[in-house]
Amino acid sequence: MNTVLSSFEKILRLLIGEDIVLRMELAPALGNIKADPAQGEQVIMNLAVNSRDAMPTGGELAIGTEGVVVGEPFVASLVGSTAGPSVLVTVSDTGLGMPPEIMARIFEPFFTTKEHGKGTGKRFIHRLRHRQADGRRYLGGK
């Protein structure tokens, strides 16, 4: 994941523009994961575009990786997850944020608050997740 993110950094910077600062916090000595690198890039790109759209006057986009061991309480809270060593990728921004009513709907494949033709969509992530059995997405509260 770190390799994919590092080689993708330049493109991400171009994508988000000069007013948004990109902060990469990649954990050293991270284990490998079973995933298609191109699909990983697509997921990160879509999240970065969402962040860019949420920061029209600039801000900070942070992307981090972390080696974690998924435990039973988490497994119980997230359908389809499995316990054991995993790589946690976090994407956060200092943008507008999301009120609860939007947050409740963001994994709906075609949900958008943007005018027609503008949005890019987690529908990509939705599609990818269906093809890629081991990936799990999790929405934090920040």
Ligand X SMILES: Nc1ncnc2c1ncn2[C@@H]1O[C@H](COP(=O)(O)OP(=O)(O)O)[C@@H](O)[C@H]1O
Inter-residue contact 25 to 62 (CB < 8 Å):
yes
Cβ closest to Mg ion, residue 1 vs residue 47: 47
Cβ closest to ligand X, residue 5 vs residue 61: 61
Q: Footprint of Mg ion on this chain (CB under 5 A)?
A: 50, 120-121
89 burial level (CB within 10 Å; 0-12, 13-18, 19+): buried
**Distance between CA 5 and CA 11 in Å, rounded?**
10
Tell me how many degrees the CA angle 31-71-85 measures, rounded to the nearest 5.
10
**Least separation in angstroms between CB 53 and Mg ion:** 7
Cβ closest to ligand X, residue 46 vs residue 86: 46
**Least separation in angstroms between CB 66 and ligand X:** 19
Q: Footprint of ligand X on this chain (CB under 6 A)?
A: 50-51, 54, 93, 95-98, 102, 106, 111-114, 119-122
Encoded amino acid at 20, one letter = I
For tokens 């994961």, name the residue: 33
**Least separation in angstroms between CB 25 and ligand X:** 17
